[in-house]
Structure 1
Amino acid sequence: MNEKNNFDIVRLSLAFIVLLVHSAEVTRNADIRFLSHFLNSDFAVRGFFAISGFLIAKSYLRSKSLTSYFIKRAQRILPAYIFVVIMCFVIGMCITTLPLVDFLKNKESIKYLIANFSFLNFIQPSLPGVFTNNPNQPMDGSLWTIKAELTLYVLLPFVLPLMKKSPLKVWTAIFIISSLWFFFFSMVYTGPKADTLAKQFISLASFFFFGSLLATHQPTFDRLKEITIVSLVLFLLFKNTDYSFLIEPIAFSSVVILFCTNLCSEIKISQYGDLSYGMYLYHWPIIQLLQHFGVFTANAYLGLLMTIVITLALAYTSWNLLESRFLKRAHHTPPSIAGSTARD
């Protein structure tokens, strides 16, 4: 496996795709609606999970103990996550239509803090009197993936030893369970929150653990180019059918990991820090604020540009003043894959 890689630039690109699609979907602005037609945020999110599965498997194998592994995970994920929840609450305090005392005493405000600090964002995604005139009210609709990722982090120490013994059999079992879950909640069950349930960690496990399979099973990794070509051809053939979800875990995961590890010469951006996680976390509340103050309504492209600039600035500041400081406390062996700091 190459020491040189493009994990940093690919992750940043995926975060940028999510930002662009959400700018169109959250504001529902007709001028930038084309972004959600030509770009696919589902691909980007699933690509994130494949990369995460790859890198976290490597990190787990380098960890001195299970405790060390979980400490590293907490140091990487929690500081920025806690900060963005607090940031959203402060934004709510500043722009709520309710009197401040009423806002602070409101059950929804208390419920928001409890639910989001517990990673149960779906229980209370919005705050009272905040963004009520926006097309969407959630404070940060991107946070739903964090609980899924944390759940997979917990499962990995149990799955990886089994995967090392019978890699293809174990991943196939995960794939079957994941596919059945997605099929049931997207095509059979039509009740409340069907779409939300379909996208939970069980369906994302096939992407995450395919990344882990590539990280730990050298014969599969050695055939990555062939796997990518075949799976992409099958995906294109079945793209507009009800069966595309069966191809996506392999097609999406393999193409993303291929870009990260084999496809082109290394593009170094590590000198600027690992901005992808911050970009993913912070872009939604920035979009909501700019929509609230009428920037997107006045000029959608100006709103989009301001979203990109402010989010990048916030991600850069977050990395240098918050995230990297917690990571420096993690005493672990330097990663064997250069630039793989995002989830290490």
Structure 2
Amino acid sequence: MDSLPLDHPRLKKNNFDLLRLLLASTVCLVHAYEVSDFAQLATLAGILSSKVAVQGFFVVSGFLIVMSYERSSSLKSYASKRVRRIYPAYFTVIILSAVFLVLMSQKTVEEYYSLAWLKYLVANLTFLNFVQPSLPGVFDANKFDVVNGALWTLKVEAMFYMAVPVLVYFFRRFPRLPLLIVIYLLSIAYSEFLLSASGRTGVEFYSRLARQLPGQMCFFMAGATLFYYLKFFEQHIKAFTAAAAVILVVDWVVLPLPWLQPAALASLVVFFGLFLYAGNFGKYGDFSYGVYILHFPILQLLLNSGWFAERPWLFLLTTIGLTAVGAVLMWNLVEKRFLLRSSHYVAAVEASEDKLTVRQPASLSAE
């Protein structure tokens, strides 16, 4: 394997926590405009791209999840870590929405807790958000009645988790690089075929299918490839990053380069994640997941209230504040409690607490 040793300091000290927080925040800011349609917030969608942010998430997952599997002592250990990391907070958001949004519903309590409510609960708890994205009578007056439009990526993420053991099995038994390249190219071919079909027929369903797992696998594979060939990437990092920057500028400004864009984006994501260390942003926890899964229902609730109809900037600031508070609470009350003590987040927090205890006077330590 041309990657760095799994205990290499570069893999331990990285910017991926910061990067995920920036990506989640980007999705939040873009959704603030798309969900509200406030013209004053249009600049957010003009400067930022939630699509690219989600693609960046998938690149990070490809790098880190494959590394997690390679580090795991068994399939059971790997599965336990993945379930502990993603599901408790996800479960909490779904349950809180299903139980308490009755207060926002235009239906009676009896009409709310109906078969449609049960369908929402079952579908969303099993990552099948598209089956029932709305709750009875909830957000009917908003632009969208979807409770949490950001959750579709969690289905893709969960499928990545399940695919990794199978992928690594073949990577260990057959030439790895050709397999990585073939899967990457097939993923793009799938997406391009469906997008072309959507353009020819005008059927939006094809473009929605293009966003699903086969179509997003190219970003995951690009991240996984850079994990496996990290030494080579580091040896030629200037060439990789320069070429990636040119490709992305051409893709965004001149003409689409769908066959190169995932690899270019992955190169810059991993470069920022590993080679420009900005400090330990996971010291007090990873709030990015909370930001991602909480911001959409918060946006919907604020719009539903009607208080911000003429106050777009107050709407944005309130969204940011409530999402930040919710993410901190989600981390401390839910996410952290399900992580193993070997998790680097738990270790970082405990190390920080130990240092604080040493520096405090004895009387404060006793308190």
CA deviation vs aligned residue, 1:10-29 (integer Å, no higher than 9, x gap): 11011110000000001111
Q: Is the 8 A contact 1:215 1:221 kept in 2?
A: no
The 8 Å contact of residues 213 and 220 in structure 1, kept in 2 or not, is answered as: no
- Whether contact under 8 Å (1:295, 1:302) holds in the other structure is no
Q: Is the 8 A contact 2:21 2:288 kept in 1?
A: yes
- Return the letter of the residue paired with 2:13: K
* Contact in 2 for aligned 1:167/1:217 (Cα 8 Å): no
Aligned match of 1:128: 136
- TM-superposition CA deviations, 1:141-178 (whole Å, max 9, x none): 00000110111111111212433553321121111111
Taking the aligned partners of 2:158 and 2:238, their CA distance within structure 1 comes to 29
> What is the 5 A alignment of 1:282-297?
282-297=294-309
**1:119 is aligned to 2:127:** yes
Distance change >3 Å, CA 29–CA 261, structure 1 → 2: same
Report Cα offsets for 1:281-318 as digits up to 9, x if no partner: 00000000001112431311111111111111111111
Change over 3 Å in CA distance of 1:10–1:149 after alignment to 2 = same
Structure 1 residue runs without a partner (length 5+): 340-344
Q: Which one has a bigger Cα radius of gyration?
A: 2
Within the alignment, does 1:194 sit opposite 2:206 as a pair?
yes
**Aligned partner of residue 271 in structure 1, secondary structure:** coil
For the residues of structure 2 that align with 1:308 and 1:76, how far apart are their CA atoms?
23
Question: What does residue 319 of structure 1 align with?
Answer: 331
Structure 1 residue 274, shift from structure 2 partner: 0.5
Match of 1:175 in 2: 184
Question: Where do residues 147-166 of structure 1 align in structure 2 (5 Å cutoff)?
Answer: 147-163=155-171, 165-166=174-175
Of residues 50, 61, 70 in structure 2, which corresponds to 1:52? 61
- State the TM-score, normalized to the length of structure 2: 0.86
Q: 1-side partners of 2:293 and 2:207: how far apart?
A: 21
The change in CA–CA distance for 1:115 and 1:224 in structure 2 (over 3 A counts) is farther
Q: Is the 8 A contact 1:167 1:213 kept in 2?
A: no
User: d(CA) in 2 for partners of 1:79 and 1:41?
Assistant: 24
Structure 2 stretches lacking a partner, 5+ long = 5-9, 350-367
Residue correspondences, number = 334
In the other structure, the counterpart of 2:264 is: 251
1:334 CA drift (Å)? 5.8
Query: Structure 2 CA distance, aligned partners of 1:83 and 1:137?
Result: 20
Aligned residue identity for 1:246: W
Secondary structure class of the residue paired with 1:32: helix
Kindly report the root-mean-square deviation, in angstroms, between the aligned alpha carbons of the 2 structures.
Answer: 2.1
Aligned to 1:7: 16
**Aligned ranges 1:182-331 → 2 under 5 Å:** 182-189=191-198, 190=201, 191-222=203-234, 223-240=236-253, 243-262=256-275, 264-328=276-340
**Structure 2 contact 284–348 (Cα < 8 Å) conserved:** no
User: 1:144 is matched with which residue?
Assistant: 152
TM-score, normalised to structure 1, is 0.91
Query: Greater relative contact order (Cα 8 A, min sep 6): structure 1 or 2?
Result: 1
- SS of alignment partner, residue 33 of structure 1: helix
Deviations 1:28-82 (A, max 9, x none): 1111011111100111101011111111111111111011111111111100001
How far does residue 256 in structure 1 lie from its aligned partner after superposition?
1.1
User: Alignment partner for residue 39 of structure 1, among 32, 36, 48?
Assistant: 48
Q: 1:94 aligns to what?
A: 103
- What SS does the aligned partner of 2:113 have? helix
Contact (CA 8 Å) 1:214, 1:221: kept in 2 or not?
yes
Partner in structure 1 of residue 362 of structure 2: none
- More deviation, 32-41/230-239: 230-239
| 1:83 CA displacement | 0.6
Once the two structures are TM-superposed, the CA of residue 338 in structure 1 deviates from its matched residue by 8.5
Q: How far, CA to CA, are the matches of 1:28 and 1:277 in structure 2? A: 25
Secondary structure at the aligned position of 1:269 is classed as coil
Distance 1:201 1:75 in 2: 22
Q: C-alpha distance in 1, partners of 2:211/2:343? A: 34
Distance 1:333 1:141 in 2: 29
